[in-house]
Amino acid sequence: MAKGGQPIIIVDPRKEQTKGRDALGMNIAAAKAVASIVKSTLGPRGMDKMLVNPLGDVTITNDGATILHDMSIEHPTAKMVVEVAQSLESSAGDGTTSSVVFTGALLEKAEDLIEKGVHPTTVVKGYRFAAEKAVEILEDLAVPVGVEDRELLVKVAETSVTGKASEKYRRLVAELSVNAVLAVRERGKVDLKHVIISKDIGGRIDDTEFVEGIVIDKVSLERNFPSRIENPRIAIIDAPMETGKTATKAKLQINTVSEIEKFVKEEEAALFEIADYVIRAGANAVFCSKGMDDKIADYLQSRGIYATRRVKAEDLQRIVEATGGRPVRNIKELTQKELGNAGLLEQDRDGDQGKTYLRDCKGAKSVSIVIRGGTEHVVDNVERALDDALKVVKCVVEDGKIVAGGGATEIEVALGLRSFASSIGGREQMAIGAFAEAIEEVPRTIARNAGLDTIDSILNLRAKHAEDKNAGLNILTGAAEDMFGKGVVDPLRVKVNTIKAGSEAAVMVLRVDDVLRAQRRDIQDVKPEHMASTYDGMSAPLLNTRR
Ligand code: ADP
Ligand code: MG
């Protein structure tokens, strides 16, 4: 720790050093640069970014988290800001762009204060105060919502995907995510691991479906096998179903025709022995995680037993969970007791490819969503939207609290903080005031991106808040309107995390007063996970450069 309890970043003290104001100015510039990149994507009228990876693959998105993830950012400070925002994405699933925009605004205001002679430590103290108070204000604003309030849950999901998914499938994505979250909810908690998303390129978006049960990307090895088995008894084999004899490199000395015949017979006998264990156990469907000899598959299928091989480990695990079966590693141990059950096995095949559904599973902890769409681009966009929607619905189902969106909470927090600041006095008051300004940057940006006048919009909102705490921005007219009435609602957790993460990132940047940097040639042995410090150009932030 250096003077005043401020941390310094030590990379290699023998080398270059950027101190005090220079270091701060440089770091603030880097963080602001990140904010300026994602700013134009914020809100329902945000623009898209076209991301091109080194292979030339194109992604078009306005999802802040995706953009920040796919841009390879080299500047250590910029990286730090992005990492804080990404932790938000993983915990709440939304609010990434807002938090980065907020961080940028906090740092811009901090710069002004420091210019005026306020010490960074005072700014940090004021920001921390303000963040705590802001969370209190948010919690007071929150409205309870129960799982029986399905329509409101759908609205939360719709709000989170507004501007991401096209209007046409916004409702569909929202409904699917609510169905899925409610189906996997267990004792008030939601584990999204149990929502399996599979993609089917070539279909129509409207045929995207929710399946109570599981879907795997496999079909029976035999093409003409029936497409349905009712009440299947399912064997789950986690071992190869082959003899392995001919696959080995051992030399076989075979001299006569009869010897060949004998060898083939022996091998067949060994294969059928494997198949017979399945038949004796009473199974009529086999999911094998490893290879399965074609002869075994033929033998099984000719006896009405569905058989498929090389099922992925995670799919096998899901089959286990959903059907209540037990995976068997030694085929000889397979008995009726190990078999799983489902209401229906159904396959939807297209040549040798397709999907197998296990529906109406009694023990189903998992549900599936099959996204269909004409092109990979469409399917990927729906997947990203669905991912966001699932996370926000999870937040609301777990916490049971929502707040008004469209900038309503930000305005209310700013108003609350301004009156709080006047009760504090001193220089910290200035920092709290700056915090209030900074949080208003979120509704201001939503307004700007919607082509509205930012000053009028903010003034309208502030005025309306005297009577309605939930007034947010009508992006079509610029008027301040009740957001609950319009169904624009966000999870409380998202808003709380946005404030926390946004201010945490700003404070982190403000507390650094020294950057010590090693030369590249000295850090060849550094492990890749420590490579943030290999950035080799302190003067200007190096953004959007690809390795
Ligand atoms: P983030 O990454 O921060 O979630 P978004 O681009 O998703 O960024 O924008 C989220 C903001 O847009 C939230 O403040 C949300 O309340 C607001 N919003 C969403 N839908 C609407 C709408 N129909 N009208 C006004 N604001 C909206
Ligand atoms: Mg969002």
Given 41, 59, 61, 97, the catalytic residue? 97
Lowest mean pLDDT among 134-138, 190-194, 464-468: 190-194
Instruction: Please tell me the number of the ligand nearest to residue 85's CA.
Output: 1
In 195-293, which residue ranges form alpha helices assigned H by DSSP? 257-281
What digits encode the pLDDT tens for the residues 377-409?
A: 888 888 988 998 999 999 999 999 999 999 999
Lowest mean pLDDT among 173-182, 282-291, 366-375, 461-470: 366-375
pLDDT band at 266 (very low <50, low <70, confident <90, very high): confident
Average pLDDT over residues 368-373: 88
Strands 401-404 and 233-237: unpaired
E strands present in 154-225: 195-201, 209-211, 213-216
Percent of the chain whose predicted confidence (pLDDT) is above 70: 87
- Rounded to 5 degrees, φ, ψ at 219 are -130, 170
pLDDT band at 529 (very low <50, low <70, confident <90, very high): low
Task: Provide the 8-state DSSP code for 499.
Answer: H
Structural domains present in the chain: 17-144+403-518 (1.10.560.10), 150-212+369-399 (3.30.260.10), 214-363 (3.50.7.10)
Q: Does the pLDDT at position 334 exceed 80?
A: yes
Q: Is the CB of 473 under 6 A from ligand 1?
A: yes
Given 315, 380, 388, 513, the catalytic residue? 388
pLDDT, position 84? 84
Residues 383, 387, 389: CA angle, nearest 5 degrees = 115
Strands 285-288 and 233-237: parallel
What digits encode the pLDDT tens for the residues 192-247?
A: 888 888 888 888 888 888 888 888 889 998 888 889 999 999 999 999 998 865 54
pLDDT band at 540 (very low <50, low <70, confident <90, very high): very low
Q: Is residue 513 within 8 Å of 8, Cβ to Cβ?
A: yes
What number does the ligand 1 atom closest to the CA of 443 have? Answer: 14
pLDDT, position 2? 41
As a whole number, the mean pLDDT across the chain is 85
Q: Is the CB of 98 under 6 A from ligand 1?
A: yes
| Residue nearest to ligand 1 atom 27, measured at CA | 406
Give how far Cα 263 sits from Cα of 150, 260, 531, Å.
65, 5, 59
E strands present in 272-332: 285-288, 306-308
Q: Positive or negative, the Cα torsion across 264, 269, 270, 272?
A: positive
Q: Strand order of the sheet with strand 489-491?
A: 143-144, 401-404, 489-491
Q: Is the CB of 481 under 6 A from ligand 1?
A: no
Is residue 388 flagged as an active site residue? yes
Number of residues that this document lists for the chain: 547
Cα–Cα dist 109/75, whole Å: 21
Using most ligand atoms within 8 A of CB, pick from 86, 162, 170, 497 the residue to mutate for ligand 1. 162
Using the mean position of ligand 2's atoms as its centre, give its distance from the Cα of residue 183 in Å: 23
Given 18, 61, 63, 409, the catalytic residue? 63
Lowest mean pLDDT among 50-59, 327-336, 434-443, 515-524: 515-524
pLDDT band at 542 (very low <50, low <70, confident <90, very high): very low
| Residue nearest to ligand 1 atom 9, measured at CA | 43
Cα–Cα dist 94/43, whole Å: 12
- Give bridge partners of residue 348 from the DSSP assignment: 355
The structure's pTM equals 0.79
Is residue 375 flagged as an active site residue? no
Q: Positive or negative, the Cα torsion across 380, 382, 385, 389?
A: negative
CA 291 to chain centre: 33
What digits encode the pLDDT tens for the residues 492-508?
A: 999 999 999 999 999 99
Lowest mean pLDDT among 7-11, 99-103, 169-173, 289-293: 7-11
Cα–Cα dist 398/458, whole Å: 33
Cα–Cα dist 458/439, whole Å: 12
* Radius of gyration (C-alpha) of the chain in whole angstroms: 29
pLDDT band at 20 (very low <50, low <70, confident <90, very high): low
